[in-house]
Amino acid sequence: MSYEQLAKDIIANVGGKENVNSVVHCITRLRFKLKDEGKANTEVLKKMDGVVTVRTSGGQYQVVIGNHVPDVYKAVVEEGGFQAQQSADLDQDGKKGSVFDRFIDMISGIFTPILSVLAASGMIKGFNALFIAVGWLEEASGTYQVLNATGDALFHFLPILLGYTAMKKFGGTPFLGMVIAMALVYPNLEGIPQAGEPLYTLFTGTMFESPVYLEFLGIPVILMTYSTSVIPIIVSTFFATKVEHFFKKVVPSVVKMFLVPMFTFLIIVPLTFIIIGPIATWASQLLGEVTVWAYNLSPVIAGLFLGGFWLVFVMFGLHWGLIPIAMNNITVYGADSVLALVFAHSFALAGAILAVWIKSNNAKTKSLSAPAFISAIFGVTEPGMYGIALPLKRPFIFTLITSAIGGAVLGFVGTTGYVMGGLGVFQIPSFIPPEGFDITVVGALISAAGGFVLAFFLTYFFGNINKIEGTDPATNQAEEKQLESNKAPIQNEVVTSPLIGQVKSLESIEDTAFASGAIGKGVAIEPLENKVFSPVAGTVTTLFPTNHAIGITSDQGAEILIHVGMDTVKLDGKYYKAHIVQGDRVDQGQLLLEFDGDRIKEEGYPLTTPVVITNHEPYQVSITNQQEVKAQDVLMELKGK
């Protein structure tokens, strides 16, 4: 059953969305506040595929889902049009992460669904360029044209795919985002600047001089090229989600199906052309002016600036402000030194990706690294940037640093481009001056090789690759281990006590979801000390933002859930302090968490802590017969059936 259908069934059986005041989720269950619990079909919900059980407590109607509750929650919020209470930009401390972290999370979440096709397209583009370079194909040949269309189609129409994934990331209807993107890359609009003279020009004589070819309701529209762009469609879909949600609330249900998208399109598409387009155009022009000024001041400074931020400019589409300058320089002066300063960036990225490819323990990351590395060598950076470097953060930062150093070298030796040539390795011939090979070409080769090597070593030794991968939306190391464990024979293992305390049977505790064994087999502990230690060596696969619950996947594949206290999610993180973050590797006996037991009990919450094996099916679970345990005493023994 799909999460969407499950969400529809859950909403219908809690009395419909009009019976829901709010809904949040904790580590295993949806927590509804209903207007009238009598309208809920509890017995129907309990028997529903995808629902473990139902429990009512503390004014909450709790639908127990299990480990995949975040996915079901998203579907419930989208289906019901509810306000999401658990923000996607919370970090492991329950607080909003830094702007950079939230931006990376957003970009990664948007690009993750298309990483494989992005990498495939990048490889086709790179190999097609190689075939031209070695003389196997000619640009006029049909073979080249078909391969070029195959490899370049995704990049040209990238906003359409991003319209879908970004709208989904922001909680809107994905197909609305696709249609908004289609309007942005509509061929008739993109061709207007080449087809005729402008109606008039705005800001004549300034750096923001902009020809106007059409108006919308008398408002000037400054056209720009949206194909291959990233940020405009992301910004558009963000606001489109808000507009869609507003109209979902105010438009009558009988006409909602077509009026909501219609009003969303009529507002967002014109606003994108009128506001986002000019902002992007002017920002690009400003970047061009600043770069030319910096180059005249010092080529080294300009190299540091352009080399260091080129990939960032590409993300925001600002690099378009430099391309006309370079083309004009080559046309008028026969040479251009501006774009030559960014030559090292693709090699620096390739070096960082190679380090990830070699060192990563994650099978999916390795599989993405191979085509991303090849693409980067050929100058196609999107697969590596969005699929590898950005999600892992440090490789991206090291790429920027080494690209800046490479840019400074290029500026120092005066490397110059004489034609608008290829990218990556195919750009090298464009640096050879008419009089022949000289120091400027040597400098280009040094910057490329140096950037590659430096980025490789920085990423390999300081990239924190496997630790950070646990939070990479593209994949999860623990998931890979679980996939492997599903295929391999079940291994016996010992789970030690994470707490000092008194042992209780699960059946004796008040929470029926745990007591029934629906969430997993295990035991409960009444803590006598306020510290939680890791019961196994493995990976922290789940740390709830309020820090009251931790999920660990052992190296042998057992999944252990430690839930400190009953209903303590309501404390919103008060009195809990985590010493690890989601994705960390932990050793058996390592301190995971501290809590203030006295304050928690003063607030009226029991400290009873279930410790359960959530994937217990392949195991025979033997519980200790001790009435009191110390941390690291044997708590459970798991034997394969």
Angle of helix 231-250 versus helix 253-271 axis, rounded to 10: 150
| Buried residues in 99-130 as b, exposed as e (16+ CB within 10 A) | eeebebbbbbbbbbbbbbebbbbbbbbbebbb
Question: If you average pLDDT over every residue of the chain, what do you get?
Answer: 83
C-alpha separations of 136 from 141, 330, 375, 434, 453 in Å: 10, 28, 19, 26, 31
Neighbouring residues of 144: CB distance < 8 A, sequence distance ≥ 6: 128, 131, 132, 137, 138
pLDDT at 100: 60
Mean pLDDT of 230-250: 89
> Quick check: 440 and 413 in contact, CB under 8 A?
yes
pLDDT at 224: 80
For the ranges 214-218, 334-338, 465-469, 485-489, the lowest mean pLDDT is seen at 485-489
- pLDDT band of 421, cuts 50, 70, 90: low
Instruction: Name the residue with higher pLDDT: 536 or 104.
Output: 536
The yes-or-no verdict on residue 536 having pLDDT over 90 is yes
For the ranges 83-97, 349-363, 491-505, 625-639, the lowest mean pLDDT is seen at 83-97
Choosing from 25, 26, 345, 548, the catalytic residue is: 26
Helices vs. strands in the chain: H and E counts, helices first:
25, 22
Both tokens of residue 384?
Answer: 């590596």
What is the C-alpha separation between 405 and 300, in angstroms, rounded?
A: 9
What is the C-alpha separation between 515 and 507, in angstroms, rounded?
A: 4
The yes-or-no verdict on residue 406 having pLDDT over 80 is yes
Which of left, alpha, beta for 614 (phi over 0: left; psi -120 to 50: alpha)?
alpha
What is the C-alpha separation between 77 and 82, in angstroms, rounded?
A: 5
pLDDT at 483: 40
pLDDT at 217: 92
Angle of helix 231-250 versus helix 174-184 axis, rounded to 10: 130
Instruction: Name the residue with higher pLDDT: 587 or 25.
Output: 587
Residue linked to tokens 């950076």 = 381
pLDDT at 324: 64
Q: Which of 603, 598, 602, 605 is nearest to 563 (CA)?
A: 605
pLDDT at 105: 64
Length of the chain, in residues: 641
User: What are the pLDDT digits (tens) for 102-145?
Assistant: 666 677 678 777 877 877 887 787 788 778 877 888 888 999 99
Mean pLDDT of 441-453: 93
Choosing from 245, 345, 548, 563, the catalytic residue is: 563
> Quick check: 427 and 342 in contact, CB under 8 A?
no
Instruction: Name the residue with higher pLDDT: 536 or 117.
Output: 536
* First and final C-alpha spacing in the chain: 28
For the ranges 97-111, 284-298, 415-429, the lowest mean pLDDT is seen at 97-111
The yes-or-no verdict on residue 146 having pLDDT over 50 is yes
Mean pLDDT of 12-26: 87
pLDDT > 90: percent of the chain? 33
- pLDDT band of 264, cuts 50, 70, 90: very high
Q: Which of 498, 558, 564, 560 is nearest to 533 (CA)?
A: 498
Question: Is 25 part of the annotated catalytic residue set?
Answer: no
**DSSP for 153-212, written as a single string:** HHHHTHHHHHHHHHHHHTTS-HHHHHHHHHHHT-HHHHTHHHHS--SEEESTTSTT-EEE
Q: CA torsion, points 456, 458, 459, 464, in degrees to nearest 10?
A: 160
The yes-or-no verdict on residue 471 having pLDDT over 60 is no
- pLDDT band of 270, cuts 50, 70, 90: very high
Beta bridge partners of 57: 60
What is the C-alpha separation between 278 and 541, in angstroms, rounded?
A: 44
Instruction: Name the residue with higher pLDDT: 620 or 91.
Output: 620
- Hey, which of 217-226, 496-505, 578-587 has the most confident mean pLDDT? 496-505
The yes-or-no verdict on residue 87 having pLDDT over 50 is no
Rounded-to-5 percentages of helix, strand, coil across the chain? 55, 15, 30
The yes-or-no verdict on residue 67 having pLDDT over 70 is no
- pLDDT band of 475, cuts 50, 70, 90: very low
Burial (CB count within 10 angstroms: exposed 0-12, middle 13-18, buried 19+), residue 508: exposed
> Quick check: 546 and 578 in contact, CB under 8 A?
no
Mean pLDDT of 330-340: 78
- pLDDT band of 332, cuts 50, 70, 90: low
User: What are the pLDDT digits (tens) for 584-609?
Assistant: 889 999 999 999 999 999 988 899 99
pLDDT at 177: 93
The yes-or-no verdict on residue 189 having pLDDT over 80 is yes
For the ranges 400-409, 420-429, 556-565, the lowest mean pLDDT is seen at 420-429
Residue linked to tokens 């702007």 = 99
Question: Is 579 part of the annotated catalytic residue set?
Answer: no
Name the pTM for this structure. Answer: 0.53
For the ranges 72-86, 288-302, 339-353, 560-574, the lowest mean pLDDT is seen at 72-86
Strands (E), 361-515: 493-496, 501-504
For the ranges 83-92, 308-317, 413-422, 561-570, the lowest mean pLDDT is seen at 83-92
Neighbouring residues of 84: CB distance < 8 A, sequence distance ≥ 6: 74, 77, 171
Residue linked to tokens 């070096």 = 351
Instruction: Name the residue with higher pLDDT: 96 or 280.
Output: 280
pLDDT at 102: 65
For the ranges 92-96, 282-286, 438-442, 547-551, the lowest mean pLDDT is seen at 92-96
Name the 3-class secondary structure at 50.
Answer: coil
The yes-or-no verdict on residue 489 having pLDDT over 70 is no
**DSSP for 269-310, written as a single string:** HHHIIIIIHHHHHHHHHHHHHHHHHHHHH-HHHHHHHHHHHH
Element (H, E) at 353: helix 345-359
pLDDT at 2: 63
pLDDT at 88: 36
The yes-or-no verdict on residue 487 having pLDDT over 60 is no
